Amino acid sequence: MDVSPLHPLFAAELTGADLTREPDAELVETVEAAMAQYGVLVIRDARITDEQHKRFSRAFGPLEIPSRIPGAARPQGKRAIDLELFYAGNIDKDGEIIAYGTEGYKLAQGAERFHTDSSFHAMPTKWSLLLGHETPPPEAGGDTMFADARAAYDDLPGSTKGQIEDLIGIHDFWEGRRRAGLKGEITPEMRKIIPFPRVDHPLVRQMQSGRKALYVGGHCIGVIGLDETLGETLVEHLYTHATQDKFVFRHHWRQYDLVIWDNRCTMHAATPLLSNEYRRDMRRTTVNESGPEMSAYEWMGLAEA
Q: DSSP string spanning 6-65?
A: SSSSS-EEEES--TTSPP-HHHHHHHHHHHHHHSEEEETT----HHHHHHHHHTTSPBEE
Query: What is the set of domains in the chain, with CATH numbers?
Result: 2-299 (3.60.130.10)
Contact 152, 242 (CB under 8 A): yes
Q: What would the pLDDT profile of 171-202 be if each residue is shown by its tens digit?
A: 999 888 887 777 777 888 888 888 899 999 99
Give 115's DSSP letter. Answer: B
pLDDT of 280 reads: 94
Mean pLDDT in the chain?
93
Q: What would the pLDDT profile of 29-74 be if each residue is shown by its tens digit?
A: 999 999 999 999 999 999 999 999 999 999 999 999 999 876 666 6
In sequence order, what are the residues at sequence separation of 6 or more whose Cβ sits closer than 8 angstroms to the Cβ of residue 103? none
**Sorting pLDDT into bands at 50, 70 and 90, what band is 76?**
confident
Whether pLDDT at 159 is above 70: yes
Computed on alpha carbons and rounded to an integer, the radius of gyration of the chain in Å comes to 19
What is d(CA 231, CA 226) in angstroms, rounded to the nearest whole number? 5
SS (H, E, C) 236-277: HHHHHHHCCHHHEEEECCCCCCEEEEECCCEEEEECCECCCC
Indicate the length of the chain as a whole number.
305
Side-chain-side CA neighbours of residue 294 (13 Å): 16
- The gap between the terminal CA atoms of the chain, to the nearest Å, is 44
pLDDT of 105 reads: 60
pLDDT of 305 reads: 43
> How many Å is the maximal CA-CA distance in the chain?
56
CA 96 from centre of chain: 24
Average pLDDT over residues 266-274: 92
DSSP bridge pairs for 273: 141
Contact 41, 34 (CB under 8 A): yes
Contact 145, 188 (CB under 8 A): no
**Considering the entire predicted model, what is its pTM?**
0.94
**Sorting pLDDT into bands at 50, 70 and 90, what band is 14?**
very high
pLDDT of 139 reads: 87
Average pLDDT over residues 243-255: 97
**Sorting pLDDT into bands at 50, 70 and 90, what band is 274?**
confident
**Sorting pLDDT into bands at 50, 70 and 90, what band is 115?**
very high
What is d(CA 215, CA 89) in angstroms, rounded to the nearest whole number? 25
What is d(CA 17, CA 58) in angstroms, rounded to the nearest whole number? 16
Q: Is 299 helix (H, G, I), strand (E, B) or coil?
A: helix
**Sorting pLDDT into bands at 50, 70 and 90, what band is 104?**
low
What is d(CA 195, CA 302) in angstroms, rounded to the nearest whole number? 8
